[in-house]
Structure 1
Amino acid sequence: MDTKWKMLTLDGERVQLEAVDSASNTYTAAFRHGAKSELGHVVLLKDGDICVHLRPKEPRSISVSNNGFLVVADWIEYGKTTGADVTVYDSRGEEVYERHFESSSPLVDISSDGAYIVVCPYNQRAYIERVTDESTVSIHQYEMADRLNPRFVGTDSEPQIELSQSKFGDPLYRIDIHGNIVWHSDEFSEQQYYQTISFDETVPWRETIQKCASTYSATSDDKLKNIIANKIGEARLVDVSQTGLEEIVEVLEEYRGVFSSKPAHRKLLSQTLGNAYYRLAKYRKKGGTGSDEFWDALAHAGREYTNVLPWYEGKIGLAKVLRYQAKQYRKEQRPTEAFDCYKQIAALERQYDVELQSKADAKWLKTYTDQGLTSKPPVETGRWTADQYMHS
């Protein structure tokens, strides 16, 4: 379904307005928000004829009942916390309800008999209001998303409200006027699952990532893809065992090509892979000399963190890898490579204008500089930072 438009002559001028019909198609409401110093337009038509023309300042959302009652949300701009005025007019254009909401960007709808309105602002709560006495019937906390699109359904005696994530999208779930969920879609159940899952040491990673990959590949819902990718990127690995980390690395490498519909999703996966490889390197470190397995894991961690750049998580992750490398080189009596690692941390700071050096980093950098040492790129990993930033 596409947005409906109407071209009308208003005050002697031709004006294009966005339009919505009542459930019975008897009435049509049309609106256009204001521009610069001009007021907006709200028009009520019955059987195609104009019967009401109003000039609110910034009408942005509108709906009309079968008896010609109009609900109008007047607000400035999406996401701006400037408050909003919600007004209901009868079929003669007389105001029968008005309330100012200290929240932004509400979407509105009105029941078929004009008895109730629903106001869905950008603040995760929906207000169900009774028009006749201007009272709040209930306040419903959204089950997902920051703002949902409302639509009244059901009968006059038992009105219900469908809530969806887009204007013409399928409903996620339905509530009664008391805010209770009376039905939900399979998509809602699926999103609930992914919103509540936490990737940590308690999760069967292979099974869960396989499920995520299957859903991510099958869905066309970008919001669901975002939820899945963000959950992977937010993984908490601090208590995961070495065996668990090896499983995480294996399954994320296996399915990394799936989570690639957006650059941000690729970065989120690399972020968790970088963390997993880094922790795995710490497990694999043996004695004073790093094993091949240790250097392999640390090299992988560095590569993943470079994939995350220029995000802050990539900067601190790469600095962390370099710091750990330098510490290992110092233990192995390889000061020229340790020096190079500290210089790379300083180069990252210059490149991205962010503080990354610890006090110890700065101390070792000064010590090696004062000694007149010449740095040497690390043998095991090469240099992560661009050469032009290596010199202050």
Structure 2
Amino acid sequence: MAETYLDRAGRLAREVQPYVPGATLEEAARRATGGGPRIAKLSSNESPLGPSPLAVAAIRERARHAHYYPSASAPELGAAIARYARVRPEQVVVGGGSSTLMHAIVAAFTTAGGEIISVAPSFAVYGEVAAIHARAPITVPLREEDFGLDLLRLRAAITPRTQLIFLARPNNPTSTLISIAELEAVAELADDVGALVVSDEAYMEFAEAPARETALMVLRGGQPRWPNVLVTRTFSKAFGLADLRLGYAIGTPDTARYLRLANVKWPTGALGQAAALAALRDRRHLARTLAVVAEGRAWLAQKFARLGFAVAPRPQGNFIMVDVGSRGWTAPDFAAAVFRAARVVVRGDFSDRHVRISIGRPSENRRLLAAVRQLLESGPGRG
């Protein structure tokens, strides 16, 4: 019997390990029992302050035109992003979230059987996208002692079949940052085999020195230092527009031109484009968000360390990664206990001993710490 469409699709069940997103607020509410405070969702690295009021107003205004098709290329938003990133508009490609753009990146710049490298632990979507497109996902472990990039291991993993390297900067879930110097070293190694390096900068706005560490530095000007670098970013995190699925990529004009050909048609709607334009204009709201995250990140990291937990060093995202195994907990048990004690959701399903904690509002951060102190008093497994 001839191979069927289901036979061909069956490889996805064998080869793809789907990324499992964190629980939504509604899902968490269904798990909660009894009364109590509003659920604090510190599990999906969302903005603690939500979207800009200007973005909300733009959505309301545009909603009455929802029966019209949006611009497929989003030129006004692309130009605004170019001003924000200090690049040329022809370098910008707007997409339906940076995760969606990753599918287009793989389709445009790799071929069947090619190898796609990422580090571990990191954003699991990289391997998922590689497998969906019948590329070989290769993972390189980060250094165990500080979750830094092991450049020697990465060099050893690169082969003539390497076509793409994904690096999350800052990295998710560790919140550590691969430096711009290390990124350029990887770009040089990739250039030797004709590979593209993607600097996934979903969390770069939260870094202590984003202007100094962004890979956009190597793409600015008439002659980019490393034309084989592509930057992806999102409006989901610092701009608080996760539900609208908006992202963008920035590369050389040539890279951007090819990526547009692989991008889906109408990747974003007019509602999202209007909201993103308004969010880019509201620099005050962005500054407040970044300040709340920076203060909360330092406070939480310090408090967890004083309670005897090991925290991944020098966190740069809007989250921290905590080794709860250092205090006798498993990650799933710790996350479940915190939720029962305080209705606070943290991410504890990606590791046996590490949890990822998003930075919330000050009151949410304090509620989390109070619950952790209570759990420590009762002992592991009895919260």
* TM-score bracket for this pair, using the shorter chain length: under 0.3
Q: What TM-score do you get using the length of structure 2 for normalisation?
A: 0.24
More helix per residue: 2
User: Which has the higher Rg, Structure 1 or Structure 2?
Assistant: 1
Bigger RCO of structures 1 and 2 (CA < 8 A, at least 6 apart): 2
